Each structure stands twice: as structure tokens, then as C-alpha cells.
Amino acid sequence: MNFAHLNEYMYNFIEEVCNEIGPRESGSESEKLTGDKIESELKNYCDETWQEKYIAHPTAFLGGVRYGTVLVFVSIIMYWVSLLTDLNMIQLEISWSYIFMIIGIIILFLADSYFVLEVMRYHEVFDFLFPKKDSNNIVGVIYPTKEVKQSVIFSAHHDSAYEFNLFYYFKRFGQKTINFAYIGIVFILIVLIAKFILNIFNVRANMIFLILGIAFLFFLPIFIPYLFFHSYKSVLGACDNLSGVAIILGIARYLSENKKDFVPQNTKVYFVSFAGEEAGIRGAKRYVDMHYQQLKNENTKVVNIDSIATPETILIATKEIIIGVKHEKEIYEKLYEIAKENGINGKMVPITFGATDGAAFSKKKIAATSISGLDLENELVPFYHTRLDTPEVVDPKALGLIVKMCVNYLKRIDMES
């Protein structure tokens, strides 16, 4: 395989989108324009292409972080006024202490639910509070020459992230505070509930609650930056994830230009570029919902690609811990073997931060994995969800290596089918 011209093609695609279209907020016009451009590229290499429109509430996934943070502050105030009422430092009937606690518990429960269900687990419980927008997933297909025995989807996403102020300004420290903040807000909720129950049973532990209340005040410097967690300015997203889109275009182009070398006989090959990944993998979730039966019937295997930057960091995901999915062993082990055989430095690891579109499939028991170029567990690269995610961070050679892995994977499963 000669990848030099393919690497150049893929890298040029990334540069063109960055220069001609720019940032691509989920649900925006520029996201749609990018989708059109991807489809027009796929048309050159696929038997068929189309777009699939879906509706989502793209700002719901992260847009509530600031409101949730305000609710956490209000609940701390409720805790304190309740405590000061208990201590007689606020002259109110003792029943007010209960009212303040109940208000504190309810709003903190809402905030905690938002952070856990929406942000960690990618559910859409609070989406109705945020505006609706439409987006398009882009699909291209290459049909096999003989009977379809299985399908493979090579996927990526073409929307780009809002800039994460927390990461741009506070870097690794900002990332580390996330776990602390999660533990902090759950801890405050537990203390509020404990205080409420003990007060009902007339167990007075004012000193302990005073100390805990003071401790909550020390949490504030950690919580305050969450009011400004992200901006509404999207980043260029050259690596995250035009690199992935470029790779699926590269695979499609390779297959269309190397028919003498290989044509899939029993494997239907899909190329899917999702919208709305940065809005909580909404595009991939809608795709799975829309095609669930077909995905099952066609014995589909999904290889999702996200944020490839350098040949040194190529992770093949075994599971995604935060969202709670396990990927398909048969796929990630095979990809890992192929990487090794080709001298590619791939690692099989669990993803411990965020989630990828691959998770939308694995969650519904469609065989999938993701190949990622971000090792966020060990290193927060400066360009992750920041203005520094420009074409220069992408090494064209890395793109070629992933194309090689995917093409070899396709050849192998087609031969085995």
C-alpha cells in the first residue's frame, strides 16, 4: 500500500474544512455545510450516499453545567441558613430550618441528576429545557460483489466542540477538579439529607454540621470555574474530529482506487460521519435508534475513529467507563493484532474520560469499538477542546496508519466471513 498521496489527500481535507468552513457547532449551518462537503467526497468513492436528518437539543449536554453550578451554590446557602437557624443566629421558627433543608435537598438533587444523567451517562432527561435543532448524519456505502453476510461501519464525527475554558486556562489541574467536583456535590447532598434526618429525630450535631459547612466553603474555589466551564465559541476541531472524518474518506478512497488489490465480497461497507458528537453523541444515538433492526440483521461491526493526532498515541478502546459500556472483544483484539503485525504502536485500553460515538452502538449491544488518539487519562494535550486544535497538531502519517489498520481489518473479516 502506498499512502503518501492518501495522507496528503486526508490532510488537505482537514485544512480545507478549517479554512473554508471553520468551527462546526452541533446543529449549526457550518455543521451542515461540512456534512455536504463530506457527502460530495464520499460520492467519488461509494456506490451510494445520503444524508439522514435528526432532531436533538445540542446545548443540553453541557449547557446546563453553569446552571447546575448555580444550584449547588444556592443549596450551600440553604444549608447555611438552616444551620444558622438551628444555632439561633437567625431568629426564625425552627420549622424554617426544615424548609431551607428541603429546598436545598431538592435543588441539589436536580443539579446532581443533571451532572450524572446528562453529562456522565449521556441520557437526555433534561434535553426538553434546551432549544431543538436539526442536524445531518452523512452515510456512504460500498456494496460487496457477492451476498451480504455482514456489514462494517467506519465512522467519525464532523461537528466540533465548544472551547473548554476549564482546560484552556487551568489545563491538567482543571481536568483533575472534575472528579473532585462530582464527589463534592454528592457529598453535600448526603450531608444535607443526614442533617435533615438527624434534626427530625432531634439528634443535635451542630458542631459537626458547622465544621462541614465551613468545609463546603472551601469547595467554592473549585466550583466557581464551572460557571465558565465552556464558552459558546466552537473550536476548529482539526484533530477532534476532522482527523477521523479524513480517515473514513481515506478508507473509501483507498477501496475505490485499489479494486485490483481488494474488493469486499461478502461485507457491506458503510462510511458514516455523525453530527452532534460533542453535543453528547446525539448523532450516533439517533443513527442506532433509526437502524437498530438493520444493524442487527446485517451482523454489523462498528469501527469508530476519534481524534487521531500522532503515530505514538493510538488507543483501541476495550470499554468506556464513564458512560458504562463494554466494546466487542472480537473487534478490538483483531484491530490490536493487525496494528502489531503492521508495526503500529496501538494499545488496548479502557477509555476513562468522556465517551465516543462507538459507545452509542455498544450500549445497544451492536458490536463496536473506537480507535482514539487521545490518552486523556495520562495526558491532557493542550489542543483537547481548545482553540489550539488546528491542522498542525495532526500528523498525516498517523492518518495513514489508521487507514491501513481499517483496510486490513476489512480484508480479514471479509476473508473470514
> Could you list the residues that contact Zn ion (CB under 5 A)?
161, 240
Residues in the chain: 417
Closer CB to Zn ion, residue 39 or residue 278? 278
Closer CB to Zn ion, residue 139 or residue 161? 161
Please report how close the Cβ of residue 279 comes to Zn ion at its closest, in angstroms: 10
Closer CB to Zn ion, residue 118 or residue 240? 240
Please report how close the Cβ of residue 237 comes to Zn ion at its closest, in angstroms: 7
Please report how close the Cβ of residue 37 comes to Zn ion at its closest, in angstroms: 20
Residue 332, burial from CB neighbour count under 10 angstroms (0-12, 13-18, 19+): buried
Please report how close the Cβ of residue 71 comes to Zn ion at its closest, in angstroms: 26
Q: At what angle do helices 94-113 and 65-86 cross, to 10 degrees?
A: 160
Q: If we measure between CA atoms, which residue out of 81, 108, 76, 109 comes closest to residue 94?
A: 81
Give the residue nearest to Zn ion (CB): 240
DSSP 235: P
What is the rounded distance in angstroms from the CA atom of residue 334 to the CA atom of residue 191?
Answer: 48
Q: If we measure between CA atoms, which residue out of 130, 74, 131 comes closest to residue 104?
A: 74
Closer CB to Zn ion, residue 122 or residue 254? 122
Closer CB to Zn ion, residue 299 or residue 390? 390
Cell numbers representing residue 326 in the block: 463494554
Cell numbers representing residue 46 in the block: 461509494
What is the rounded distance in angstroms from the CA atom of residue 59 to the CA atom of residue 131?
Answer: 7
Close Cβ partners of 247 (under 8 Å, ≥ 6 residues apart): 10, 154, 156, 305, 308, 399, 402, 403, 406
Closer CB to Zn ion, residue 24 or residue 195? 24
What is the rounded distance in angstroms from the CA atom of residue 138 to the CA atom of residue 414?
Answer: 24
Closer CB to Zn ion, residue 67 or residue 353? 353
Closer CB to Zn ion, residue 161 or residue 178? 161
What is the rounded distance in angstroms from the CA atom of residue 154 to the CA atom of residue 319?
Answer: 18
Closer CB to Zn ion, residue 41 or residue 240? 240
Please report how close the Cβ of residue 240 comes to Zn ion at its closest, in angstroms: 4
Question: CA separation (Å) from 214 to 23, 104, 178, 293, 381?
Answer: 43, 16, 21, 55, 35
Please report how close the Cβ of residue 373 comes to Zn ion at its closest, in angstroms: 11
Please report how close the Cβ of residue 205 comes to Zn ion at its closest, in angstroms: 45
What is the rounded distance in angstroms from the CA atom of residue 307 to the CA atom of residue 241?
Answer: 5
Please report how close the Cβ of residue 238 comes to Zn ion at its closest, in angstroms: 12
Q: Residue for cell digits 493542550?
A: 382
Cis bond before residue 241 (omega within 30° of 0): yes
What is the rounded distance in angstroms from the CA atom of residue 299 to the CA atom of residue 285?
Answer: 18
Are 25 and 31 contacting, i.e. CB atoms less than 8 angstroms apart?
yes
SS3 label, residue 118: helix
Please report how close the Cβ of residue 384 comes to Zn ion at its closest, in angstroms: 7
Closer CB to Zn ion, residue 163 or residue 240? 240
Please report how close the Cβ of residue 85 comes to Zn ion at its closest, in angstroms: 46
What is the rounded distance in angstroms from the CA atom of residue 259 to the CA atom of residue 267?
Answer: 14
